[in-house]
Amino acid sequence: MKPKTPSGLPVSREEIRPIYPVHGLPASQELALKTRPAHGLHVLITGGAGFIGSNLAEYHLHKGDKVHVVDDLSTGALSNVEAFLSHPHFRFSQADILVWDDLNKAVTWADRIYHMAAVVGVHKVLAEPIHCLSTNIAGCERVLRAASANGWKPQIVIPSTAEVYGEAHTSGGALPSEAVDFTGFREDAELVVGSTAIKRWNYPVSKITNEAMGLSYGQAFGMEVLVARLFNSVGPRQTGRYGMVLPRFVKQAVAGEPITVYGDGTQTRSFCDVRDTVALLDALASELGNAGEIINVGNNREISIHALARLVKELAQSASPIAFVPYRVAYGEGNVETYRRKPDLTKLLAHTAYRHQWTLEATVQDLIERERANMEDARLVAWRPDDARVFQECMVS
Ligand code: UDP
């Protein structure tokens, strides 16, 4: 009988290449012989049932690679990977990365690891500050340690975040000046985060630690480690539950509810479609020369949050009012707002030939259509017998 996940869904088939032995040699010699294939890469994605992780899984399956996702489903959702469970090249393990028994086997199997397992999202980070630090720091080290422990060294992509740019352009640091032409955060900038007494900084502190750890393990053990500083990815499967702005605006606009702009809406962000994000990560990791680099990954088109609300409202042809909510009401105490967040992409564009395929308008339009389809599905599922009778009567008349 196939094993079941707690939700009763079958775990995918074990048709991924058996781990070892491959050539019938002792494991230590097998590892020495192992080489990274050009096609049919073995991809391990920790946190692969989350937003970016599940898009990475989809991307690599589509490319013909084999994908193993491990996720404890704390912020990720089984529904994000449900469509892949029956794929012969997909495997899912529900486990906490801090205690996962099969980690050593999985990293030995992997040609590439995307370590996406992390506590993210402003609301979640403020609500669970210790969980954020322990999962993000100890989880990352556990993966690096396992990967460094034997002869075969998989590539490792460590996702970092624009949040590491810290206090620059925040309400706690230097405020933006309209007169200053902001070309974006550069990878070689000094990183200055705020006081550790403010919970909000736990997230960038954890990610700066991940960066330093990843690069140090890479140097010490001769591993290919790439640090990607991700800037506001948006797209399918992103949930607004933990505060992310675009899925919230789309849901509100489609439902005809007020679109909640925090602050006065003049703060800006630069949004990158997740389908570009994952293609960029793959393109960067595929270039051997990028190992040991820290590279911004995102899109550099800047838009104010008020303008984003107007764009969503317009494309959804929604009658929703735009409501301004004070930051204090939105986040409570302990938050520090970043007024401008834009990547300098000079390094990214020099390190890969991939170019963005998605405009913000196309992404927003796509998300509106998906939200409408979801609402329609939910409406059908919510049918009661009474509804069926009404429907029959409609058909008759
Ligand atoms: N935001 C907003 N309304 C919401 C959720 C978020 O105006 O319902 C704002 C938030 O204050 C921030 C921006 O949108 O200025 C982006 O928020 P998000 O949490 O998506 O990303 P981050 O702040 O981490 O860049």
Cis status, amide bond into 21, omega within 30 of 0: yes
What does the alpha-carbon distance between residue 381 and residue 182 come to, in Å, rounded to a whole number?
48
For the cut 60, the answer to whether the pLDDT of residue 148 exceeds it is: yes
**CB-ligand 1 contact for 304 (6 Å cutoff):** no
pLDDT band at 397 (very low <50, low <70, confident <90, very high): very low
**CB-ligand 1 contact for 204 (6 Å cutoff):** no
Contact 53, 30 (CB under 8 A): no
* Distance set, CA 121 to CA 15, 164, 237, 260, 278 (Å): 35, 14, 14, 17, 19
Q: CB neighbours of 343 closer than 8 A, spacing ≥ 6?
A: 162, 184, 185, 229, 231, 270, 296, 297, 298, 299, 300
What does the alpha-carbon distance between residue 136 and residue 209 come to, in Å, rounded to a whole number?
9
For the cut 60, the answer to whether the pLDDT of residue 13 exceeds it is: no
Q: What is the pLDDT of residue 322?
A: 98
What does the alpha-carbon distance between residue 235 and residue 176 come to, in Å, rounded to a whole number?
28
Report strand pairing: 112-115 vs 42-46.
Answer: parallel
For the cut 90, the answer to whether the pLDDT of residue 133 exceeds it is: yes
For the cut 90, the answer to whether the pLDDT of residue 83 exceeds it is: yes
- Taking Cα atoms as reference points, which of 281, 232, 341 lies closest to residue 115? 281
What does the alpha-carbon distance between residue 171 and residue 357 come to, in Å, rounded to a whole number?
33
Full DSSP string of 318-378: --PPEEEE-HHHHH-TT---BS---B--HHHHHH--------HHHHHHHHHHHHHHHHHHH
Q: What is the pLDDT of residue 171?
A: 63
| Candidate list 59, 165, 203, 331, residue with the active-site label | 203
**CB-ligand 1 contact for 259 (6 Å cutoff):** no
pLDDT band at 7 (very low <50, low <70, confident <90, very high): very low
Query: What's the 3 CA to ligand 1 centre distance in angstroms?
Result: 40
- The 10s digit of each residue's pLDDT in 284-319 is 999 988 999 999 999 999 999 999 999 999 999 999
Q: Is the dihedral of CA 223, 272, 283, 112 positive or negative?
A: positive
Collapsed DSSP state (helix, strand, coil) of residue 225 = strand
Q: What is the pLDDT of residue 61?
A: 97
Q: What is the pLDDT of residue 49?
A: 97
**CB-ligand 1 contact for 245 (6 Å cutoff):** yes
- The 10s digit of each residue's pLDDT in 166-186 is 877 766 665 555 546 788 999
Q: Give, as one character, the DSSP assignment of residue 176.
A: P
Start-to-end CA distance of the chain, whole Å, equals 50
**CB-ligand 1 contact for 341 (6 Å cutoff):** yes
What does the alpha-carbon distance between residue 341 and residue 163 come to, in Å, rounded to a whole number?
9
Q: What is the pLDDT of residue 342?
A: 93
Query: What's the 183 CA to ligand 1 centre distance in angstroms?
Result: 21
- The 10s digit of each residue's pLDDT in 185-207 is 999 998 988 888 888 889 999 99
105-119 burial, b at 16+ Cβ within 10 Å, e below that, comes to ebbbbbbbbbbbbbb
Return the residue whose CA atom lies nearest to atom 11 of ligand 1.
Answer: 262
Contact 232, 269 (CB under 8 A): yes
Q: Examine the residue annotation and report whether 203 is marked as an active-site residue of this protein.
A: yes
Q: What is the pLDDT of residue 288?
A: 81
Give strand pairing partners of 294.
Answer: 227
Give strand pairing partners of 272.
Answer: 233
Element (H, E) at 255: helix 245-255
Contact 41, 57 (CB under 8 A): no
Q: Which two tokens stand for residue 395?
A: 């058909």
- The 10s digit of each residue's pLDDT in 277-291 is 999 999 999 998 899
pTM, 2 dp: 0.88
For the cut 80, the answer to whether the pLDDT of residue 396 exceeds it is: no
- The 10s digit of each residue's pLDDT in 101-130 is 999 999 999 999 999 999 887 778 888 899
Q: CB neighbours of 40 closer than 8 A, spacing ≥ 6?
A: 64, 65, 66
pLDDT band at 1 (very low <50, low <70, confident <90, very high): very low
What does the alpha-carbon distance between residue 153 and residue 129 come to, in Å, rounded to a whole number?
32
Query: What's the 122 CA to ligand 1 centre distance in angstroms?
Result: 8
